[in-house]
A and B are shown apart, each in its own frame.
Chain A
């Protein structure tokens, strides 16, 4: 064996020339390793594969001409982007490759941005400079950001766009949920512009809770809020019976009465369910409050609390006081002060108190509270951070009760503790934590929410968008959210409008809800006489809508106060109300307008002018529009509806001045004298259709 080796050595390195030759050969071979590695690299493999994919296509020559071989790179220094993804994803810009289903050759779907502008990793994450599939897509030790899964891709839009986009419904929903479900009460979320995300839910103050409800109800609610109301925002803290008992003891003991929030009426609470139901319907309570019907479906809005089991919760005297004037108990409530009469209050409170569920409190028996229990309850209230959401007299609102989430989307995976068996990625961690917080540790304080899987995905998307990149963007790229308007009307009318909570439904100057029409230019659009009549007795303008303006028992002076203020203040600078007369248009022009209405513009598709023949009910009924709107407003509206009300769905028809004038003349001739209740007819038709199609 040894001899063999010796002779081999002699053969290779026996003399200097031979040795030199052999060493050179070895050297050459080792030099060839690098080019070989390059030759067999993944990106070359994919570029060759691309040629195979396009070979038999009709536009193969064009595609081949577009193909640049070698490593490709998008370099955007100001974004910190060095993306070599296009080395393998060679067909990204080829619109003809939309039907190719194998990656990495597919065309990039149409989006508002070009890859040359932003690169790839700004949206998709991953390691842009990498040239192998594994390193580019998946988390490696050196790189924390794997490709973001497609279901969360909208999170990347949120890095630059702080306001809602029409193309990102999931991100918008997630952001809304963060505010509406109260996440930001406990978790601070600072946005890149320095402002903090605000909660839009309105957790009630607990300082006077004993006026409103019983200790037994508090106990049952704490144990399982969703058992009382399926739609409850309050999460389940999974409290033990003893803890719920002690917290309820503390809250009742801590409560102080509010003078005047409970009253005993001269009228007796009525048991007349029919009268109650019809008053509930006439007052459009269902616009804000939901009630579960016999089939188990929720019917009604989500602005106010669900009332399915209200009778098991509320004290009747408190409810009567609340219906009389809700602002006595809660000055900031979004509920309107309806100005109900005592008889109406008796009817409505009787109707609501009958909505009780005997099972809810049937099993709850609490002995009188001991001082120890009350003290323990107070400790629990501060331990669980109840005061982060609720005002509780004597308990300070804790600052930063839960971890700040301002940059949660960039949290390093190494800092996370995963559950056994779950994928080690940030999106999976966030989604699991929202789904079942206590699974991570039974001692955690974060409560159990009842989010649907889609809501969990939306929340995860919104949280992933809160990342380092949104803070380090060049300022020119950041699209800031419009600051929230805090417009408040002034004077006596202003006071009246907050008493009525007009802004819960109507928006004015960018402030308020979106359930009812925007009133920013109401003074230019309607006639003073009509407005007064409408406030006195709101009729139906849009028969297809199920939410309508309720009737408030206004005094005449209140109506004048409101109508005068709106007519004077809510004026559009571009509409001169007096520029066109309200009547007296020549018959010829009215006829022409009628022809245009039914012919060229086919307005009857959406509107009703002749309540017998026309059927359209997308837009408001126009049978009495000549008594309702000003001519100048109609004319300007014809010319450009979106200029007066951005986002309105009436299409802009780019009408000539002549057409707009003729249509204005025709519409102003519709004074509504002939048929006194056209809206009612239209509504009954709408209801019939609704029932038939259900």
Chain B
């Protein structure tokens, strides 16, 4: 009787564990033909997208060997917090040692740490962490307002469609990613400078007062955006999501 129960128990445990494991080896495709010593980011880090949405640019990582030359055919796997999806989630690096994946962020606003990993010759795991930022409703609205009203002066980068005014200003404005400066300003101070202009904090009048043009909710949205994109991260940027 007891023996039978034990057999049954083992059988059921095996059944449950086999149905729970979600990484069947059959989907991994062809095995790796190369092994690197390091994995580095080629492009696609620190992007912003709305919660759940696809990042505007794909994430590209490169596997290098100990000498720093690219390794083709190395297996790279991407992982992140639940809700983040990768297309494809794993694959072999191409002839230039790179693997490209399209990333959709999770449903909650905040910072997401993506892990890209590969194995070296001794089957030790080598990891790379890439940070991406998901914007909630309020931050996304802030981004829209930033593009409309702020960016022409606060973003030094010019595009063909939008020439930056940054270089023309005698006193340079702070780009919104400049966390070193902006993180030290309280929400009340940032609200004051947007509402009443630079002179409210004894700063340049080149920063005009927006209090009659933007609503209070607009200004809050802008601050939420500024806090979300600042680098280094602001304390009030919200949660950081990693693989658990």
Contacts and interface: CB of A to CB of B under 8 A. Distances in A.
Chain B associates with chain A: yes
B152 A170 contact: no
Contact of A109 (B106, B136, B212): B136
B145 to A, nearest CB: 7
Contacts of B240: 101
A659 B236 CA distance: 40
Contact of A652 (B156, B164, B204, B213): B213
Quick one: which of B156, B158, B241 has the most chain A CB within 10 A?
Answer: B158
B137 A617 contact: no
Contacts of A689: 158, 163-164, 167-168
A150 B169 contact: no
Nearest to B142: A167
Contacts of A133: none
A618 B152 contact: yes
Given A149-B107, A686-B163, A693 B138 contact: no
Given A167-B141, A651-B210, A100 B53 contact: no
A106 interface: yes
A359 interface: no
A617 B52 contact: no
B212 A693 contact: no
Contact of B165 (A149, A605, A653): A605
Contacts of B208: 601-602, 605, 651, 653
Given A150-B107, A690-B163, A99 B137 contact: no
B206 interface: yes
B137 A101 contact: no
A336 B54 CA distance: 39
A101 B110 contact: yes
Contacts of A649: 148-149
A686 B165 CA distance: 9
Contacts of A111: 137-138
A642 B213 contact: yes
B46 interface: no
B212 A110 contact: no
Nearest to B169: A605
Interface in B214-240: 217, 220, 224, 236, 238-240
B47 interface: no
Contact of A693 (B106, B152, B164): B164
Interface in A596-652: 599-602, 605-606, 615-618, 642, 649, 651-652
Contact of B241 (A101, A170, A686): A101
B241 A693 contact: no
B144 to A, nearest CB: 5
Contacts of A686: 163
B113 to A, nearest CB: 12
Given A150-B106, A457-B53, A690-B158, A169 B212 contact: no
A586 interface: no
A691 to B, nearest CB: 9
Contacts of B161: 546
B165 A546 contact: no
Contacts of B209: 651, 653-654
Contacts of B205: 599-602
B104 interface: yes
Contacts of B50: 151, 169-170
B184 to A, nearest CB: 20
B102 interface: yes
Interface string B90-123: 0000000000001010111110000000000000
A617 B168 contact: yes
A544 interface: yes
Contacts of B210: 651
Contacts of A457: 53-54
Contacts of B158: 689-690, 693-694
Contacts of B76: none
Contact of B238 (A99, A169, A605): A99
Nearest to B211: A654
Contacts of B160: 299, 546, 690, 694
Given A651-B209, A653-B209, A153 B153 contact: no
A152 B145 CA distance: 22
Contact of B141 (A166, A605, A654): A166
B92 to A, nearest CB: 22
Nearest to A604: B206
Nearest to A153: B52
Interface in A545-593: 546
Contacts of B217: 112
B53 A170 contact: yes
A98 interface: yes
A454 interface: yes
Nearest to A456: B54
B137 A110 contact: yes
A167 B148 contact: no
Contacts of A618: 152-153, 165
Contacts of B52: 149-153
B140 A615 contact: no
Quick one: which of A152, A599, A690 has the most chain B CB within 10 A?
Answer: A690
Contacts of B54: 151, 453-454, 457
B153 A167 contact: no
A110 B104 CA distance: 22
Contacts of B236: 98
Interface in A673-694: 686, 689-690, 693-694
A694 B158 CA distance: 7
Contacts of A109: 108-109, 136-138
A616 B153 CA distance: 10
A654 B239 contact: no
B15 to A, nearest CB: 21
A642 B210 CA distance: 12
B38 to A, nearest CB: 30
A641 to B, nearest CB: 8
B190 to A, nearest CB: 16
A166 B145 contact: yes
B62 interface: no
A78 B145 CA distance: 34
Given A166-B145, A618-B152, A150 B157 contact: no
B108 A101 contact: yes
Given A166-B145, A686-B163, A454 B53 contact: yes
B232 to A, nearest CB: 17
A99 B53 CA distance: 21
A454 B149 CA distance: 25
B217 to A, nearest CB: 7
Interface in A423-457: 453-454, 457
Quick one: which of B53, B167, B241 has the most chain A CB within 10 A?
Answer: B53
Contact of A151 (B104, B149, B152, B213): B104
B56 interface: yes
A110 B136 contact: yes
B212 A651 contact: yes
A154 to B, nearest CB: 8
B83 interface: yes
Nearest to B218: A166
Contacts of A546: 160-161
A693 B239 CA distance: 35
B177 interface: no
B141 to A, nearest CB: 4
A642 B149 CA distance: 13
A99 B239 contact: yes
8 contacts: A106-B239, A111-B137, A149-B107, A150-B52, A170-B50, A544-B165, A546-B160, A602-B206
3 closest A-B pairs by CB: A150-B52, A150-B107, A151-B52
Given A99-B238, A110-B138, A149-B107, 8 more contacts: A103-B108, A109-B138, A112-B217, A150-B107, A599-B205, A605-B208, A618-B165, A649-B148
Interface of A: 98-101, 103, 106, 109-112, 149-153, 166-167, 169-170, 299, 453-454, 457, 544, 546, 599-602, 605-606, 615-618, 642, 649, 651-654, 686, 689-690, 693-694
